[in-house]
Amino acid sequence: MEHRKHKGYIKQYKAKAKGRCVSSYLVVHEGVLEGFPHRWCVVCAAAVSWYLVAREGKEGVVCWNVFHIVWSCHIYVGYKSLSSKKLLPTEMMKLPLSSLSLLFSLTIQVILLILKLSCMKFVFASTVGNNTDKLALVDFKSQINDNLGVLASWNDSLHFCHWEGVTCGQKHQRVTSLDLVGQNLYGTLSPQIGNLSFLRSLNLASNAFQGGIPQDVGRLFRLTSLNLSHNFLGLEIPVDLSHCSNLLTLDLGYNSISQQIPSQLGSLSKLEILFLNSNNLTGRFPTSIGNLSSLQQISLTFNNLQGEIPDEIARMTKLTVFEVGANNLSGVFPPSLYNLSSLQVIVLAKNKFTGDLRANIGHDLPNLQLLFLGANQFTGPIPVSLSNTSGLQQLDIIYNNFTGSIPMSFGNLQNLSRLSAPSNLLGSGTFDDLSFIIVSLSNCSNLKVFDVSYNQFRGELPYSLTNLSTKLECLQLGGNNLGGTIPVEVSRLLNLNRLGLEHNLLSGSIPDSIGKLSKLNFLELGQNKLTGVIPSSFGNLTLLLELYLYNNSFQGSIPSSLGKCKYLQTIHLCHNKFNGTILESIIGLSPTLLDLNMSHNSFTGSLPSEIADFRNLVMLDVSYNILSGDIPGSLGKCLALEQPYLQSNSFQGTIPDLGKLMGIQYFDLSSNNLSGQIPMYMVNFASLQNLNISLNNLEGEVPVQGVFKNASAIELFGNSNLCGGIEELHLGPCEEPKKHFALKLILLVVIIFAFCFALMMFLVSRYCLRKLKNKTISSSSFGRVYPKVSYEDLLNATGRFSKSNLIGSGSFGTVYKGIICPGETTVAIKVLNLQQRGASKSFLAECQALGNIWHRNLVKVLTACSSIDFEGNEFKALVYEFMPNGSLENWLHPEEEQEKWRNMDLLQRINVATDVALALHYLHNQCQAPIVHCDLKPSNVLLDDDLTAHVSDFGLATILLRSSKDAILNHFSSAGIKGTIGYVAPEYGMGGQVSTRADVYSYGILLLEMFTGRRPTDGLFKNDLNLHKFVKAALPGRVMEIVDRSMDSNEMAEIKSSEHSECLISIFQLGIACSAESQRERMDMREVASALVLIREGFLQSRKHEHCPERQGAQVSQIRVKETYPCEDGRQHLHDALQLYQES
């Protein structure tokens, strides 16, 4: 009866429990009141309560399980009532089967409940974790700038597992990988990244992240790969990274991380790859690194580590790559490395290692493929056992003290591609010792570089060198004691781009066959005993960059075919027996020449005016010849010239006007027949370090300013009629002319009369000014040269300054388009805003500079007006030549209605960049006093009909005169006129003085803007990121990602698939060098202009379907910018090591 009662009770509550899960509580609790065992009901109530907490909307399932629990309780009560009768086991077996299964049914129900509760708990935890991952990713995005829109998919329209770069695990839907390599992302790393607790791979390489690495990364205990290389990360390596116990790869290379390497990294027992190269790490090599028994590759190159390599390294038995080059490490070759037989790459170059190499190094390291030991102090012989390393590809021991010879057994190294051992003490001392070596190396069919220059090899130049590998690109045997002749069969080495045989004892003539080496860039044959003439076949060396034939016995004239070498930058022909006129010798040579040395020969005739064609010439040496005639004034057009040597000839006449050569450092005119006085412009040569004008016929007074203030910097002897100068020169005083009293009286009367006349004219003009306010008061300097215009003229020319004629406005005035008579000339009229502080002074400064500022790439000032308007206010304006194609700003960043502007191709941009550079070079180096623009930006670069660029707006220019008392300099220092945000140099923000280097910075930013299409104030440049860093992060491999997308798509494809990209890289490197934060690191505009001319020449040649010379871009950027080229075997982690030898 009691059992039926309970059963009815359950039925009574079924309907209630179906509707609301809370009824399950009542089912259990009221079950107690109805007679169920109390202990069991409490257990059921607790289970149901926990279940409901985790239900997540599944109330029906929960309630159904509650019914099963209560029903089981009901059955259990019945079972208990039977068991209370204390039946024997045999009697129990006689019970109905249903009664025997009561306990089994209850047990199953409880087990199912526990399993379901566990599942619900897992679902709950997984949901919370997913939300954490999403929040972490959102916060990561909020800290960065995404200029390419890579993270556009990171929004609520997609599940975060489908966001770009995000990978999730299928089971848990948690983030396991974040890969955003090379996406031009900028900003800082969010600490929330440490909440991605399931993350196994994090790759943010080749972006522009700044700041430090968050310590929170150490919480990613599942992380196996962390790659943050090629960014701008700083501070120190987080100690908490040691908590990432599952790390296999750690790459933090190419950043700015400083301080010491944490010893805690030694606890990463699973680590296989550790790259910390190209940072600013200091301290000693941590001994704890030896605990990384699984490590296979380690690179610490280009840091500031010091001390010795610890012996604990020997425990890293799996190590294959060990790179510590370019540090301050010392000691002998690390003994611990001899125990690591698995090593394939060892780079110890550019340190302070000493001592001998073990004789059995090749047996201890049989797997060695690359060994770089250059720029150290190693001694002793090259171990013969290295020939045992059959896989050896590159051996470089440059700049050491190795002795003995190169083992002949090296001929067995079939994989050898580079054998470089210059500047050692190699050479056995026996005759023809090099010959046997070269014979053995002829078996090395993959050899590309063979350099044993500047050693002690003797004998004749081996004929066997013609049997070396046809893949050979570099053959350097200079600086030895090799005799004999150059073999005709050298032409077999068709892939040679560098041949160096200088400083030997070679004789005979240069074979004509050398003209077959069409890939040759560098030919060095100087300091030998060669004779004959220069072969006309040199004209076939169209990619030749540098030619050195100095200190031989060549004769004859320079072949005209040399003019076909359009890329020649350096020609050294000095100390030979060349003859012929100087005109026929240099006519037709490449206009890209930077260095021309023809001294100590027998050239005749006069220095031709065509010398002006070499506008990029830096060094000209025609001394010790038989030249005569006047020195041509056209030499003053070689604006880049720094070292003109014209001594020991027969030049006559006066010294011409070379006052525009402001970069001259060494100037020698001695031992000629020059006459006249010393030009006063020489006192303005601020860079001049030495001036020699001795042994001439000069006369008159010696200046006492500039270089003439330093007696040790000038040589004047042999000019008997010179006088004056500083006391140290011991010259006699200059005789003053006799003074007559009558002459003095006449002069005094004239001065008094002139003063009275000037005073009267001043009073009259003041009276007229008050009566006729609308009349022009033009500066006298304009009145004699330019047509006068009045306020009324300009008012009519601009339609009463109507908005329809408004061209633009700036901080110092507004520019209108106008038409003035006579001739109905279209002009641009700049009306100065006299309410703006400094504008009036700016006008006066511009007027003062007008007489000096005339250049093809500067906007011409036609006239000026200083008057009173019809309301009695002061009015000042400048009238410029009108530029129909507007400003560069319009072309780079057009408004919607100006889309037609955006058709500027790559060549046009290069032309504009070159034009602007030449204009600044003129302002800085060719004017009598350097002129600083102070506000260079795209809106101040105007374009004429054929898109020739003209720099405008000199209202902000500072005229840097030598005297610190100069009023204009003082005025500009106080006016605070120093440029536009984004283009202004950083030193101006700290109160720095006006300087030409600040213009260079502005030009660098302008150059980067022209080719990226991004303003320096672009919204993506936040925190510490700027345009300079944006471009630097993309070079050289990702240059196409930052190029202005407005360029034609076909041209973009052409650039990407051709040599044009090298020219583009050179331009960007030039912009980076100009926009360096430090003034001292910036280039001079003379260098910039020369580099751009070379880049343009190379680009034009490639347009004619001719390949740019190999590494032409590097030649341009070598002015200040380090080369960036992949290493020969294509392995990125060896790139730094190879750079060491490119620099050498």
- Catalytic residue numbers? 935
> What gap in Å lies between CA 195 and CA 926, rounded to an integer?
61
Q: 527: Cβ–Cβ under 8 A, 6 or more apart, which residues?
A: 502, 503, 504, 550, 551, 552
DSSP, collapsed to helix, strand or coil, labels residue 884 as coil
Widest distance between CA atoms in the chain: 163
Question: How crowded is the C-beta side of 1077, counted as CA atoms within 13 Å?
Answer: 8
Among candidate residues 246, 241, 247, 245, the one with its CA nearest the CA of residue 263: 241
Is 817 marked as a binding-site residue?
A: no
Are the CB atoms for 1001 and 1082 separated by under 8 Å? yes
> What gap in Å lies between CA 693 and CA 256, rounded to an integer?
51
> What gap in Å lies between CA 60 and CA 424, rounded to an integer?
88
Per the structure block, which two tokens stand in for 718? 């042999």
> What gap in Å lies between CA 455 and CA 109, rounded to an integer?
92
Residue recorded with tokens 């060994």: 371
3-state percent helix, strand, coil for the chain, nearest multiple of 5:
40, 20, 45
> What gap in Å lies between CA 216 and CA 255, rounded to an integer?
19
Would you call 993 exposed, middle or buried from its count of C-beta atoms within 10 A (0-12, 13-18, 19+)? middle
Would you call 1110 exposed, middle or buried from its count of C-beta atoms within 10 A (0-12, 13-18, 19+)? middle
Per the structure block, which two tokens stand in for 143? 């800290």
> What gap in Å lies between CA 1094 and CA 1115, rounded to an integer?
9
Sign for the CA dihedral angle at 702, 706, 709, 714 comes to negative
> What gap in Å lies between CA 584 and CA 1075, rounded to an integer?
42
DSSP, collapsed to helix, strand or coil, labels residue 845 as helix
DSSP, collapsed to helix, strand or coil, labels residue 691 as strand
Angle, CA of 185, 190 and 193, to the nearest 5°:
105
Among candidate residues 263, 188, 199, the one with its CA nearest the CA of residue 233: 188
| Amino acid residing at 434 | L
> What gap in Å lies between CA 535 and CA 557, rounded to an integer?
11
Q: Are β-strands 377-381 and 861-868 bridged in parallel, bridged antiparallel, or unpaired? A: unpaired
Question: How crowded is the C-beta side of 245, counted as CA atoms within 13 Å?
Answer: 2
> What gap in Å lies between CA 594 and CA 598, rounded to an integer?
13
> What gap in Å lies between CA 1095 and CA 1079, rounded to an integer?
24
Helix (H) or strand (E) holding 42: helix 38-53
Question: How crowded is the C-beta side of 1137, counted as CA atoms within 13 Å?
Answer: 30
Are the CB atoms for 1039 and 1061 separated by under 8 Å? yes
Provide the H-helix boundaries in 414-528.
433-441
> What gap in Å lies between CA 822 and CA 149, rounded to an integer?
55
Angle, CA of 254, 256 and 257, to the nearest 5°:
105
Angle, CA of 628, 629 and 630, to the nearest 5°:
130
Sign for the CA dihedral angle at 750, 752, 754, 756 comes to negative
Length of the chain: 1144
Per the structure block, which two tokens stand in for 651? 């030049």
Question: How crowded is the C-beta side of 813, counted as CA atoms within 13 Å?
Answer: 25
Binding residues: 830
Binding residues for ATP: 830
